[in-house]
Copies of this chain bind each other. A is one copy, B any other.
Amino acid sequence: MNSYLTQGLKRAAQINRNGTASICEARRRTWSEVRERVARLAGGLRQLGLSAGGRVAIMSLNGDRYLELHFAVLWAGGTLLPINMRLAPPEIAYILADGEPELICADDAGLALLANLAPPTQPRVHLSDASAPEGWHSYERMIEATPAADDAERCGHDLAGIFYTGGSTGKAKGVMLSHDNLMANAMNAILLVGFDRTSVYLHAPPMFHLNDGMSTYAVTMVGGTHVFIPRFEPGACLAAIQQYRVTNVALAPTMVTMLINHPGVETFDFSAMRQIHFGSSPMPEATLKRAIELWPNLLLNHGWGMTETSPIGTMLPWELRLPAVAGERLRSCGHSAPNCEVMVVDEAGKEVARGAVGELIIRGPNVMVGYWKKPEETAAALRNGWLYTGDAAVMDEDGFVYIVDRLKDMIISGGENVYSTEVESAISLFPGVAEVAVIGIPDERWGEAVHAIIVPRPGAELDVEKIRHHCRGLIAGYKVPRSIEIRASPLPLSGSGKVLKTVLREPFWRGRRL
């Protein structure tokens, strides 16, 4: 039989039935409780009219009910439709129209977002202990009142979820992931992260995003423990790590930067922590240095992935996760996951020599089925089974992959390629820099000019000329920013914690290409 994701929940209840499945503030549940609740909730979702493959929109901050829904929707035979809680109302309206959910599940934060939209016509489920508002079904009441349903056991190529990406630009695409896709990822996650029954995983980044979701099925399959904080906030994250003796967390590099800059960070007990997984973008040098000072024995596991790859694509081998051992290799995002292939190719799709920059492409059972209702975009992204990622990368002699930039973030100035990430790393080493983003802006003479936007640490005074001088000592002259802007407000971030360069570029390129 083909893989199916609810199998992992049954396994957890078989091998660790009295073990702690979830810790959500004061509420703890065992794996046998979660299994029972999921089977009942699935019955309730079916009673509300959920059809085979029907989408269930989830608008919620992190919590144990989000975990249960991950399984209950599938147990009922439905498809997950998690919604990015940071989107603006028109963006959410677009996804709800495009994704056509049959049901909507929302917590109070989701309710608040929906209040800005035309009232939904679908049946709605309220994720809360409190009594449900009018027109909403109570999640807890459904579980109490419904007998356990049989597992629909959809599997293999059947869709498990639609995950929208790029929503912040208004052109959201729904990434269709099958049971096979997410199961392939779960096996990779268990294997590459090393989850087992003793793992305590903190859901700190938003659960609607696969940076966190990468571990949801894996931690369940091995019967580990899920811990939740409603949203990423450095103090809450540090407190949860200490209080629940968290062993693993996945963070965007920007979140790690926020953690290490948090006042009193060195007073928190990190002794249970085994590994921080980071991806999406390389860790700034300054953050890396400080993290190593703070937690010299903590494994830092650099990986690369995207929603379209469910998401793990590459990860550092185990022996290179201790920064003192890894050295320069920590800047690599490692080798392909065992069951998939990566290649760096030129514009004709031909593999480039090792050491040369090209586009990273990837193929395997973790690669998406396609974009929902977007056959042209699907055909452009998936060619002969390979996903063209839009990431510029280098592969070394030993198969290690280094992401140099998003292709579209690469700056071409006077015919030279400038990788914004390299310039950002150089600037991040300058004392007093908290955040930095480098973009290309229009330039009459050079086509594009390198422009840096910097947010100083509280109280720091930054001298633009000194920063340029600092850069000249680290990178080639043509890479040094021609202009630097100091901002007091934080840089705009996507749901996954990436700096939104499209937003930063927009005022410079208005009326031209973006």
Contact = CB atoms under 8 A, between A and B. Distances in A.
A317 B11 CA distance: 14
Interface in A268-290: none
Interface stretch (A87-95, A183-191, A408-416, A459-467): A183-191
Interface in A1-40: 1-3, 7-8, 10-11, 14-17
Contacts of A318: 196
A99 to B, nearest CB: 25
Given A191-B191, A338-B187, A1 B365 contact: yes
Given A1-B367, A187-B187, A196-B317, A11 B338 contact: yes
Nearest to A397: B17
Contacts of A395: 14
A15 to B, nearest CB: 4
Contacts of A14: 335-336, 395, 399
Contacts of A186: 338
Instruction: Kindly name the residue among A335, A365, A398 whose own CB sees the greatest number of chain B CB atoms within 10 A.
Output: A365
B191 A15 contact: no
Contact of A365 (B2, B10, B16, B341): B2
Contacts of A187: 187, 191, 338-339
Contacts of A367: 1
Contacts of A398: 15-17
B7 A399 contact: no
Contact of A15 (B16, B335, B339, B340): B335
A221 B11 contact: no
Contacts of A335: 11, 14-15
A329 interface: no
A86 interface: no
A385 interface: yes
A222 to B, nearest CB: 7
A479 interface: no
Nearest 5 A/B pairs, CB to CB:
A15-B399, A1-B385, A14-B399, A191-B191, A187-B187
24 contacts: A1-B363, A1-B365, A2-B180, A2-B365, A3-B365, A7-B339, A7-B341, A7-B364, A10-B341, A11-B399, A14-B335, A14-B336, A14-B395, A15-B335, A16-B398, A17-B398, A17-B399, A183-B339, A186-B338, A187-B187, A187-B191, A187-B338, A190-B191, A221-B339
Interface of A: 1-3, 7-8, 10-11, 14-17, 180, 183-184, 186-187, 190-191, 196-197, 221-222, 317-318, 335-336, 338-341, 363-365, 367, 385, 395, 397-399
Given A11-B338, A197-B317, 17 more contacts: A1-B365, A1-B367, A1-B385, A3-B339, A7-B339, A10-B341, A11-B336, A11-B341, A14-B399, A15-B398, A17-B398, A183-B339, A187-B187, A187-B191, A190-B338, A191-B191, A196-B318
